[in-house]
Structure 1
């Protein structure tokens, strides 16, 4: 890991806040010189692989396998920006990796872990990585590199809450199911533009809204993270290291969402993605630099629990072909209703039933397939 961190050295740093009163300034940066570095943890647990993979829900003990569980980004002032915890089980190991989103998004996460895996396979004392990261910061013309934040104390933008009881499940969508959902959405809208991800997201938007029993007049939002690198003009390379994502959202009242068809919901998401153009990204960044603010999860993504209530995290399966897993985090009563939702369960029952007959939960199979490599990583969005 040390050889790889030489190239990704911001991950070995700590956040530092610089502020002064006259003239007023408040800024945060990564200090790579005065830092104890990244963190590597070895732990043991008196559990077997089946204890982790067999339950239908993601077991709560899995949270303890990630060092940054419950942390907020500002904790990077005292906590490592990168932490890898290897937990030895009775008959296997679990590798949990945590990273601070101030310094890296999903693209940068996987870039680092891909290069870490390559370094491990090379087994050389001095290994030049095949895809060097780009650390030069991008700013609009005439802006940066220092941005003065409108705060005097971090308590003005940090919010911590207790985690109420919830359930987290991973549902598998086979490549055939994804293809059928995409075909149905495009057929209803008489188009070929709706993507597989937009179709699956539309299904979840409708079914989770119904499971949560949202009042018809209340606005609902389906937010997705979008990578800005390929939307810039000129585009930023995928090796651009940092956090270059924004949320794009489809919005509709609960009544409107459920009264219209599945394809209508998918089209709202498609339009939101199409509208996230280079101009939109540029305008948003310029406005943020002029009037900077901090994202507070509870304000932008709903009621915050261990993750977010009604959060969905998607991952593509190693088997390829367009299949994917989605992790859904809901309050128990809402999860029970989702499990009884015909529209939703019709899309997942076929594959999930086959896994249950093999005495393995869908979430367990997901983790087995995703962990067929030297390193394992689970991203919490």
Structure 2
């Protein structure tokens, strides 16, 4: 398959009436500044009939008038603070074509091929990029890249749904809430928890932080990004096993992460005395009191870090791992979010610190990171020809960085994107469906 990029242009917001000023800016919130400073790319596939690119572009221009941040640029405000400049310089829109049918290119699975379906993520000024690739059969693949400092997955999915609504000539609903100044620290601050070695780390230690891979030099071996499909039947059995003897069952998410954590740890062949943790995103909208509306546009995520000794994780039951995950996520509550706000708002306290959120690593072993997209309504995106039948992240070969997606089958099954070293993947494939 060969993808040919036919045209590339900048698309700017289309306003009704007088355009707003292009000299305003929005300071980044404490949650924006602690998240991943990188672009994230996702890929959608749509079966025909699909609307023309002009319809999708027009919808994009309309939605950018409501979500102006995406059409701006990152910079600093008049006070020198990191900010989103609302200068309406626009987003990139690329037209492309493939020399085959989509069926011939299937199955779309994690591979370098996905990189041809969206613009590069490196050295990009635009905060959003769009590429529409047309296939000979009339199918369409949408590649979408967005800078994570602007919005988390929840906000980005709201934007995408609004884009589809605008493309169909519908009113955009719900409308976003743009006020990023709502996270007000206490005076005096109440920092109840440790944040310097959780969300932040010292600049002096940053070069010493990469996780060493034990016992083996894998420098000549690449990472294989593998997709695992967990059926609803398997997930039901897994949840029952994890919850055995417990009055209230663990969630499917907790049970599956516990299972993957143990299976990957075993496949890696880690020594028993080593400590392993999982970095899990926690949405603060429902955890803060008063609750932050789901329409809030920006980042509002912190992380839970369940951890265990390798020996205990593998010798104890699945329920043991699920309980570690449940307890760690539960502790990222209103008190914890407000403690973080108080700590991160102290510019003096954080001036020599950098976020621990980093997608530039090539290896996370002995740890894992889980990006769960199970609750994001990505399959609700509809430009006028119906919902996508495939949705997935682009190719991110970071060892140990997992993505969880609802399967396009729509029956409650889950796809897990699991990047591991080739040697470890052989073992993982043998045990990933074991309930023993």
Match of 1:215 among 249, 260, 271: 271
String of CA shifts for 1:196-216, please: whole Å, max 9, x gaps: 100001110001111111221
How many residues end up aligned between the 2 structures?
Answer: 315
Tell me the residue number matched to 2:41.
none
TM superposition score normalised by structure 1 = 0.75
Q: In 2, distance between residues paired with 1:166 and 1:47? A: 28
Aligned residue runs from structure 1 range 42-81, under 5 A:
42-54=95-107, 58-69=110-121, 71=122, 78-81=124-127
Q: In 1, distance between residues paired with 2:358 and 2:240? A: 35
Match of 2:337 among 281, 285, 288: 281
RMSD: 3.1
Tell me the residue number matched to 1:116.
163
Secondary structure, in 3 states, of the residue corresponding to 1:340? Answer: helix
In the alignment, structure 1 segments of 5+ residues that lack a partner are 20-24, 144-149, 348-381
Q: In 2, distance between residues paired with 1:266 and 1:226? A: 16
Q: In 2, distance between residues paired with 1:17 and 1:197? A: 39
In the alignment, structure 2 segments of 5+ residues that lack a partner are 1-59, 188-199, 211-218, 365-394
Q: In 1, distance between residues paired with 2:157 and 2:252? A: 22
Secondary structure, in 3 states, of the residue corresponding to 1:6? Answer: helix
Match of 2:130 among 84, 104, 116: 84
Aligned residue runs from structure 1 range 1-381, under 5 A:
1-17=60-76, 27-33=81-87, 35-54=88-107, 58-69=110-121, 71=122, 78-91=124-137, 92-122=139-169, 128-137=171-180, 138-141=182-185, 165-187=222-244, 190-290=246-346, 291-292=349-350, 293-297=353-357, 303=363, 306-341=396-431, 344-346=432-434
TM superposition score normalised by structure 2 = 0.66
Q: More helix per residue: 1 or 2?
A: 1
Q: More strand per residue: 1 or 2?
A: 2
Contact 2:274–2:309 (CA<8 Å) still a contact in 1? yes
Q: In 2, distance between residues paired with 1:197 and 1:230? A: 18
> Which range moved further: 174-183 or 294-303?
294-303
Q: In 2, distance between residues paired with 1:340 and 1:318? A: 25
Q: In 2, distance between residues paired with 1:100 and 1:17? A: 16
Displacement over 4 Å in runs of 4+: 296-302, 318-321
Q: In 2, distance between residues paired with 1:207 and 1:227? A: 26
Q: In 2, distance between residues paired with 1:288 and 1:133? A: 25
Change (3 A) 1:142 1:283: closer
Secondary structure, in 3 states, of the residue corresponding to 1:338? Answer: helix
Q: In 1, distance between residues paired with 2:64 and 2:221? A: 37
